[in-house]
Structure 1
Amino acid sequence: MGSALSRTNRGQRRADDLIQGMTQAAYDEIAEWYEHTFLADQHASAGGQGADPLGIRKALDVLLSEGHGPCLDIGCGTGVFAGQVRGLGWDPVGVDLSGQMLRYAVGRLPVARADGTALPIRDASMAAAVAVMVHTDMPDYPAVVGEVARVLRPGGRFVHVGVHPCFCGGFADRGDPDAVVIRPGYGEPHWTTASWTKRGLRDKVGASHLPLPELLRTFTENGLVLDDFMEGGGPTPTVFAVRAHRLPAATS
């Protein structure tokens, strides 16, 4: 039984590594398009650069809130949220696997090219961490959250802002702005290139899906305490956000 489980785990690890490599290559390939076209189109369709129709920036403002000290931006991409994190008083530091995306990020925050499942950061050195609209790019998100828990200081906060696992995925038809049709496929973790939007990102880079219970267990099973939640977008939520923290050190 033990050897069978070991083979299963090794097989899953190889599959995750393959997907991670494909995702990295895809983002390297589309970095220029992402920076100059995709983000510009998003701002235009949202009504301008300051608009926030999905509540992504609101969730980051409310759940991260003001603070100070180093804040790790996991999967920072081109550094699009660095200014907002800095505006809340934090010192953002970014990591991403895509070297081409980091070419744009380097002018916005200090960055390192790194795998989120093996962060080149010492234990208990980060006051906070954020992962904004990136967990679908990470086939082993539980391992990423485990690394977050390791590098957070006792009492440090972690803010996850991502697509809503119940209403966004290859199983969700969001073609009608007033309704979402959910097809079979929500209940099992999987990776897909099916896109739930018309903006053309997921069909380029793919997406990993975790059902809501598994997403929440990702935090608790890594020793983080859940503090608060938010949803954004409407009429059916598009965004689901979580704030958690690492327990303070025990006092005698």
Structure 2
Amino acid sequence: MRAAYDEIADWYETEFLPTTTPGDPLGIRRAITEQLGPGPGRCLEIGCGTGVHAAQIRDLGWTPFGVDLSAGMLRHTGGRLPVTRADATRLPFRDASLDAAITVMAHTDMPGYPAVLREVARILRPGGRFVHIGVHPAFCGGFADRGDPAAVVIRAGYLDGHWTKTSWTANGVRDKVGASHWPLPELLNAFLEAGLEFQGFGEGGSPVPTVLSVRTSSASRQCPAAPVTGPR
């Protein structure tokens, strides 16, 4: 099976990442520190790509390892962390076997993300931690023109929930591999339906947020919540 990122893996590692603005303009590093917090334990990065976040996760006291569908991306991990090629909707780990899991700016690359969350709830030990850090569903997507960061334009399409390659820039990733979109309520309900319990939230990027972070834990008993169908 070929993954979308196989086609751009070399560009991503050698051109896209090195030209990323230095520092932490989107608050991703801050979100990892605040939401994941200190270890110890084994922390699985789902959609780890080239493993660029492994050093920070290791510095927090965790033992990082990763899974990704793209063999091309995994070729660039360079020993940053142990990796396995796998579909995130069928993670190759036993029930209740891991201490923590995290996904960083990758959930829009996973069309079956609700199924990924169910897998997360399955593999985490009771009380295990899961951190989601992703593009902000209310302000980023094919419906959002971020050409002027001080005046983001939100067009029709936010409520649709769809996959698209539409992007405000030709210098990023989404116009090349596409992205899946979930409106905010649909995204948050997917956590609840997987049986994950909310522990905290954060936003990053300014003046209009680019990143939404969510900290959850697996329930003490793996009993998925009933689907949320509408107002009570």
TM-score w.r.t. length of structure 2: 0.93
Q: Greater Rg, structure 1 or structure 2?
A: 1
Aligned counterparts, 1:37-186, within 5 A: 37-42=15-20, 46=21, 48=22, 51-105=23-77, 107-186=79-158
In structure 1, what residue type is equivalent to 2:130? F
Distance (Å, rounded) in 2 between the aligned partners of 1:229 and 1:113: 29
Partner of residue 17, structure 1 = none
Contact in 2 for aligned 1:168/1:196 (Cα 8 Å): no
Q: How many residues align?
A: 222
Task: Note the C-alpha offset of 1:41.
Answer: 1.0
Distance (Å, rounded) in 2 between the aligned partners of 1:195 and 1:35: 20
1:235 and 2:213 aligned: no
In structure 2, what residue type is equivalent to 1:74? I
- 1:104 counterpart SS class: coil
1:191 to 149, 157, 163: 163
Partner of residue 5, structure 2 = 27
Task: Note the C-alpha offset of 1:110.
Answer: 0.8
Task: Note the C-alpha offset of 1:176.
Answer: 1.1
Distance (Å, rounded) in 2 between the aligned partners of 1:159 and 1:139: 18
2:188 to 180, 194, 216: 216
Distance (Å, rounded) in 2 between the aligned partners of 1:189 and 1:111: 31
Distance (Å, rounded) in 1 between the aligned partners of 2:169 and 2:190: 26
Q: Residues 143-202 of structure 1: CA distance to partner in whole angstroms, max 9, x if unpaired?
A: 001000000010001000000000000000111121111100001210000114452311
- Find runs of 4+ consecutive structure 1 residues off by over 4 angstroms: none
- 1:160 counterpart SS class: strand
Q: Mind listing any 5+ residue stretches in structure 2 that lack a counterpart? A: 223-232
Distance (Å, rounded) in 1 between the aligned partners of 2:109 and 2:221: 32
Partner of residue 225, structure 2 = none
Distance (Å, rounded) in 1 between the aligned partners of 2:38 and 2:148: 37
Query: How well do the aligned residues superpose, as a CA RMSD in angstroms?
Result: 1.3
Q: Mind listing any 5+ residue stretches in structure 1 that lack a counterpart? A: 1-20
Among all aligned residue pairs of Structure 1 and Structure 2, give the percentage whose two residues are the same amino acid: 65
Task: Note the C-alpha offset of 1:105.
Answer: 1.7
Contact in 1 for aligned 2:197/2:216 (Cα 8 Å): yes
Q: Residues 86-133 of structure 1: CA distance to partner in whole angstroms, max 9, x if unpaired?
A: 110001110000011111125111110000000011111110000000
In structure 1, what residue type is equivalent to 2:92? P
Q: Residues 59-83 of structure 1: CA distance to partner in whole angstroms, max 9, x if unpaired?
A: 0100000011110100000001111
- 1:226 counterpart SS class: strand
Contact in 1 for aligned 2:169/2:175 (Cα 8 Å): no
Distance (Å, rounded) in 2 between the aligned partners of 1:151 and 1:188: 31
TM-score w.r.t. length of structure 1: 0.85
More helix by share: 1
1:205 and 2:177 aligned: yes
